[in-house]
Structure 1
Amino acid sequence: MNPVVVTDIARADAATTGALGVHGVATVHEAMGRTGLVGPGIRPIQDGVRVAGTAVTVLSWPGDNLMIHAAIEQCREGDLLVVATTSPSSDGAFGDLFATALQARGVRGLVTATGVRDVADLRAMGFPVWSSAVHAQGTVKATPGSVNVPVVVAGATVRPGDVVVADDDGVVVVPRERAAEVLAAADARVAKEEADRAAYASGAELSLDRKGLRPLLADLGVEYLTQAQHEARNAGLDAGRGTER
C-alpha cells in the first residue's frame, strides 16, 4: 500500500456512538453476536473509564510516530484515535503532548497496538488510553505510513469511521454500517438483564429456571444425588475396583 492520508472519512452517527458507549464493551460484544473484540493484550492505563468514539486510524512503522502527527489534523470532536503498526512494537510512541493536542480537538481517547509513556500525566489529564504496553522508549519520525485506512489491532479490524467502545473490560469495534442495528440489540439485551436482575434480587427465581437450563443439565447427563447417595455410589465403585485388583 502506498502511503496515504484520507481526509474525508464517513463516520458513524454521533448519537448512536454515544449510546453504544453507555452500554459498554461486554454488552455491545454480546449484542453483536460475540464479535468485534480487540484481543486482551490491549489494556487500559486507567480504571473506571468508559468511552466510545468514531475511529481515526493510523498505520505506522514500528518505532516511528510520524503518522500520529499527521493523524491529529484529521481528528475532530467525538473521534477516538486507533494506532497500529506494520509489525509488533512496544515503543512509547504516544505521550502527554499528543494527548494535549487531541484533547483540544475533542478526541475521546486512544487505542494503540504500541506502547505509551507519560502515563502519570495522561491519567492526570483524564485522557483515556488502551495500549499494548507502557514503555519509556521513544520513537523517531522518519518513515511514511497511512492515516484513515483499515488497520488490525490485536486481531480486530478497525476501519475509519467505525465505532470503538472501550472500558475496563477491553475494546470492541462496531462496523459503521451496523451501529444502529447493534444499538437496538444492545438496548434489548440491557432490558432483559434488568428484568433478570430484579428477579434474582428478589429471590423469586434462580438463573437455572429463568434461563431454562435444567433440561440442558439433564440432557448432558448431570444427576442430582443426595450426599448419602453419592457416598454410596462412590463406595460401590471403590469396592468394584478392589475386586478387580
Structure 2
Amino acid sequence: MPVVVTNPPRAASELVDALGAYGVATIHEAQGRTGLLGSHLAPIQQGVRIAGNAVTATVAPGDNTTIGVAVEQCGEGDILVVAPTAPCDMGYFGDLLATSLRARGVRGLVIEAGVRDVADLNEMGFPVWSKAISAEGTGKGNLGDVNIPISIGGRIVHPGDVIVADDDGVVVVPRLRAADAIAASKAREEKEAKARARYVAGEIALDVNNMRPLVEKAGTRYVDYEEWVKEQQA
C-alpha cells in the first residue's frame, strides 16, 4: 500500500543556503568523497546551482501520478527527488508540474528518469537534473511512496537531507551532517585558495601537491629524447 509521510524533519534553511555556497565537487571531496549521485543524472541547463531539502518520491514505471502527490508535500526551499521503482526513461515531468512546484517555492527537480518540455523548463528557469530527455508521456493510476528513503543514482536519499546540484552533478548531504559538511567545505576551499595562489605564481601540481615522491616511488625514469630514440632503435 502506498504511503505518504508528512512533515519530515528538514535541515535548517541557514545550513542549506550555506552549503549552496559551495560546489558539488567541493562538498563531495570535503565529506570524504561520499554522497555523489551517479553521473547519468545530468543538468538540462548550464550555469545553475541549487541547494534544498529533499522531498523524496518513488514512481511506478511509466506513471507519474506520485509526482502530483509529492507536490503537495513540497514547500519553500525544497528539491523534489524522484526515482522509479524500475528503470524507465519516459518523460515523467514537464512545464506544468514545474509551474506547480515553482508556485510552492521548490528550487528544482532531480529525477532518475526522463523529462520533457525542456525548452520551456529552461525558459522559465526551473532547474532539472535527469537521467534522460524523452517526449514520451506517462500514464496515471499506479502509486508510489512519498517522503521515505529512496535509492537514486547509487545512493540513499532520506527526506530532509540536503541536495546540492550544479553543472558537475548532484550530491547529497545527510541532514544531521550538514553543519560538519559546511565546516569541511570551508576548510577545503581555504586550502584550494592557497594552492591556487601557488599555481598563479608558476608552480606545478608535482610540487603543490607533493607528488614527486610518488613519481620516484614508481621508478619513473627521465630520458632525453635523443637517447630515447636510440634506445628504441637498438
Please give the TM-score of this superposition, normalised by the length of structure 2: 0.96
Unaligned runs of 5+ in 1: 239-245
Match of 1:56 in 2: 55
Q: SS where residue 196 of structure 1 aligns? A: helix
TM superposition shift of 1:114: 1.5
TM superposition shift of 1:232: 4.1
Match of 2:71 in 1: 72
Match of 2:208 in 1: 210
Match of 1:243 in 2: none
Which runs of structure 2 are paired with 1:163-178 in the superposition (5 Å)? Answer: 163-178=162-177
What one-letter code is carried by the residue in structure 2 that aligns with 1:43? Answer: A
Match of 1:182 in 2: 181
Match of 1:222 in 2: 220
TM superposition shift of 1:4: 0.6
* Identity value in percent: 56
TM superposition shift of 1:24: 1.2
Structure 1 residues 100-136: Cα deviation after superposition (integer angstroms, max 9, x where no partner): 1111111100000121111111001100001111111
TM superposition shift of 1:57: 0.4
Q: RMSD of the alignment, in Å?
A: 1.2
TM superposition shift of 1:231: 3.3
Which consecutive segments of 4 or more residues in structure 1 shift more than 3 A? 231-235
- Give the length in aligned residue pairs: 234
Match of 2:142 in 1: 143
Match of 1:119 in 2: 118
Larger radius of gyration: 1
Unaligned runs of 5+ in 2: none
TM superposition shift of 1:3: 1.1
Question: In 2, distance between residues paired with 1:57 and 1:129?
Answer: 15
Match of 1:89 in 2: 88
Question: In 1, distance between residues paired with 2:127 and 2:55?
Answer: 15
Question: In 1, distance between residues paired with 2:40 and 2:204?
Answer: 35
Which runs of structure 2 are paired with 1:228-239 in the superposition (5 Å)? Answer: 228-235=226-233, 238=234
What one-letter code is carried by the residue in structure 2 that aligns with 1:200? Answer: Y
